[in-house]
Chains A and B, each alone.
Chain A
Amino acid sequence: MYREQEAKYLTKKERRGIPRQPMPEQAPTIRNKDFSEVTVGYSITDAQYEAARCIQCKDPACVKGCPVGIDIPSFLEMIVEGNLNGSINKVWERTALPAVCGRVCPQEIQCEVVCVVGKKKDSEPVGIGNLEMFISDWARESGVKNQVEVAPPTGKKIAVVGSGPAGITVAGDLAVKGHQVTIYEALHKPGGVLLYGIPEFRLSKSIVDYEIEQLQELGVEIVCNTVVGRTIDVDELLDEMGYDAVFIGVGAGLPTFLGIPGEDLNGVFSANEYLTRANLMKAYEFPKYDTPIIVGRNVAILGAGNVAMDAARTAVRLGAKKVTIVYRRTKEQSPSRHIEIHHAGEEGVKFEFLTSPLEFIGDANGKLVGINCEVMELGEADEGGRQRPIPTGEHKYLDCDLAIIAIGTHANPLLTNTTDGLQLNKWGNIEADKATGKTTKERVWAGGDITLGQATVILAMGMGRDAANSIDSYLNAEEEW
């Protein structure tokens, strides 16, 4: 039995016999009543056995699978050895937000999917995400600080617009290189989607606050309540306020509605609004906090991505009697992470797949009472090989007093409309060079969802990293002239 010995004394063969350590979680029937984090985290013993499963590949595929290129085998081996300080510093070399990444990165399509251990028969990949969460939580709880060396001041000033994952990464990287960085945030608290979008039970806001504090310790200044494009504009930053470069990371923007009748009924929300009320404004603690939220009895969530799961699980916790995900495709086609669907199901969320909403139905007072839907079936595959849902003509009525639309977002034109010289694509997203994030406007870079449409936290961070490197070389080259 492998547990009879400490992980570091196990032989290679014994290490191979260790099964993937399950992530301890709060029981579904307990956690679906409050907003505390679902995942409890590994103990150090769990972590060491899990890390010992890594076979230390010579040419590790996982590192290539990581959008920010964390040296995964090294940080895992240091956990096995008990060198936790060394391990967290290894992680910090490549990401400023490990506690966030460990929780919300889709490891199953990045680092873990290519893990050689997972390729073996009856074996699962190393729990890289769980270990990243472990080591960053350990550092935070034991007060270990990022001792990355900050370069001497260069005298260069950079403005970062938006304090989400892309902005935080750019700001952190450039501050370390000795530049003076100011982040401008439109909302009253920094963190962007980490704060308003991702619920407390998936990512505790205390972690986001902690990561932001780390950034401030590096010398980054954060100015909230500033809407770039309104309060100040990009050209003012460049020409009047003396910034040498600007990075735009303003995020995904406007919620997409279905465009079906009844969408303005009371009880129909965008997921952005519903989640912002709950997360940023803490409406789940109403009336202790002043922002109200409607607690539905019977809630329908339209869409089946990660945001839909967040909304569904929030509705469950607020006390809804029944919460149903309504999706026009199948479970297998859902864009959500498997773990999110799994967690939602465990907490009591129901699913209506191959169901497409046609019309919201209201009562005489304009309050939502139900949704008329059409039953779909899978038809021929599209260019991407994905079978399209096609209407069958059969209708289905779903009772609900709250409907949350979670079918995505499109670009917010607020900043781009007020900034000359930025080229946009046909969806209104900023055109930025794939490798560097450079836009068509001089001294302006962009990254994250405002360039990608909709992506993930880690992809935004990866783009932030590339942009920071590009901005740094631009500023250094400028110096040489």
Chain B
Amino acid sequence: MFKIVNREMMAHGTIILNEIEAPQIAKKAKPGQFVILIANERGERIPLTMANVDKERGTITIIYMIIGATTKLFATLKVGEGYRDVVGPLGQPTHIEKKGTIVCVGGGTGIAVLHPITRGMYEADNRVISILGARNKDFLIMEEEMQKVSTELRICTDDGSKGRHGFVTDELREVLETQDVAEVVAIGPVPMMKFVSLLTKEFNVPTTVSLNPIMIDGTGMCGGCRVTIGGETKFACVDGPEFDGHKVDFDGLMRRLQAYRLEEDKASCECTLEAE
């Protein structure tokens, strides 16, 4: 068992943080890489990009939003309990080097994944402008942590309850129009990454996105996580999870993420019945 040593609730309990004992993974993990977790004997394999790694404590941190049957199950796990299986680190690490001004754009739980990458960029002496987006101020996570690793932090909310009243793309456009940007890293919901990539394409600024398609083994065996990148089929688990945002077929990705919609509804439904 991989024990949970710390658990936090964020955004009114809709987002959960788990710090998990996994010394072997912590030893190797780099920003941008992911793990696959299984809650119990009957559980499914869920890939999540790591939000933090503590090599000394031998722990990794994941942050997830409660959306389907399995994340609901994950959310029931308390400190001292744990996951039956955790495997990783998987995928290619983020390419971090000194490039100049980097804009890190995060939305929803994507901010959790963006954090270690932002820190890496910041520690590599880049000037980092972070733009975070959320539905409203209560759903904004990790603002303080992001502040610490950014030269400048900008916030956008859909309802204007904090920062700019608008989308991250509005804020990003302003930055791109006024400054020389070496790279944009965007991690969040697929539509957000799509519109960020369309925008940066206008300005011809290299853009990295991190994809989270459906996968099983995470080592290249099943091909379920295939994404179309510049017309070519790539496997997010071994070739990614990060790709050139200008080449990603986001519409195809969105469609594939819906593949099990009917089955997932069925699972959630049965869970509710059992609970009753």
B238 surroundings in chain A (CB, below 8 A): 412-414
Pair A231/B24 contact, Cβ less than 8 Å: yes
**Contact mask B57-84 → A, CB, 8 Å, 1/0?**
0000000000001100100000000001
Pair A273/B216 contact, Cβ less than 8 Å: yes
Q: B43: CB under 8 A from chain A? A: yes
Q: B228: CB under 8 A from chain A? A: yes
Pair B220/A412 contact, Cβ less than 8 Å: yes
Across the interface, A412 reaches (CB within 8 A) one of B221, B226, B258, namely B221
Pair A231/B44 contact, Cβ less than 8 Å: no
Q: Which of A31-39, A70-78, A287-295, A440-448 contacts B (4 or more CB under 8 A)?
A: A287-295
Q: A281: CB under 8 A from chain B? A: yes
Q: Which of B222, B228, B238: most chain A Cβ within 10 A?
A: B222
Who on chain A is nearest to B235 by CB?
A254
**Cβ distance A316 to chain B, nearest Cβ, rounded Å:** 19
Distance, CA A270 to CA B224, complexed state (A): 7
Pair B38/A257 contact, Cβ less than 8 Å: no
B89 surroundings in chain A (CB, below 8 A): 230-231
A272 surroundings in chain B (CB, below 8 A): 221-223
Pair B216/A290 contact, Cβ less than 8 Å: no
Pair A287/B223 contact, Cβ less than 8 Å: no
Pair A412/B222 contact, Cβ less than 8 Å: no
Distance, CA A266 to CA B242, complexed state (A): 22
Given known contacts A186-B87, A266-B255, is B42 in contact with A288 (CB within 8 Å)?
yes
A269 surroundings in chain B (CB, below 8 A): 223-224
Across the interface, B216 reaches (CB within 8 A) one of A281, A282, A288, A294, namely A281
B264 surroundings in chain A (CB, below 8 A): 292
Interface size on B, residues (CB 8 A): 44
Q: Which of A118-126, A219-227, A336-344, A375-383 contacts B (4 or more CB under 8 A)?
A: A219-227
Q: B270: CB under 8 A from chain A? A: yes
Pair B88/A231 contact, Cβ less than 8 Å: yes
Pair B219/A292 contact, Cβ less than 8 Å: no
Distance, CA A331 to CA B258, complexed state (A): 37
Q: A474: CB under 8 A from chain B? A: no
Q: A276: CB under 8 A from chain B? A: yes
**Contact mask A388-399 → B, CB, 8 Å, 1/0?**
000000000000
B226 surroundings in chain A (CB, below 8 A): 257, 264
Pair A281/B45 contact, Cβ less than 8 Å: yes
Q: A255: CB under 8 A from chain B? A: yes
A294 surroundings in chain B (CB, below 8 A): 259-260, 263
Distance, CA A463 to CA B228, complexed state (A): 37
Given known contacts A292-B263, A412-B220, is B252 in contact with A188 (CB within 8 Å)?
no
Distance, CA A16 to CA B266, complexed state (A): 59
**Contact mask A262-292 → B, CB, 8 Å, 1/0?**
0110110110110011001110001111111
Known: A288-B42, A291-B216, A413-B238. 10 other contacts (CB 8 A): A225-B85, A227-B87, A230-B90, A231-B87, A264-B249, A286-B266, A290-B73, A292-B266, A365-B255, A414-B219
Which 7 pairs of residues, A with B, have the shortest CB-CB distance?
Answer: A292-B263, A273-B222, A270-B223, A188-B85, A366-B255, A225-B87, A291-B44
Instruction: Please name 7 pairs of A and B residues whose Cβ atoms are closer than 8 Å in the assembled complex, sorted by A.
Output: A225-B85, A254-B220, A266-B259, A294-B259, A412-B221, A412-B238, A414-B219
**Which B residues are closer than 8 A to A by beta carbons?**
24-25, 28, 38, 42-45, 69-70, 73, 84-90, 216-224, 226, 228, 233, 235, 238, 249, 252, 255-256, 258-260, 263-264, 266-267, 270
**Which A residues are closer than 8 A to B by beta carbons?**
186-188, 196, 224-227, 230-232, 251, 253-255, 257, 263-264, 266-267, 269-270, 272-273, 276-277, 280-282, 286-294, 365-366, 412-414
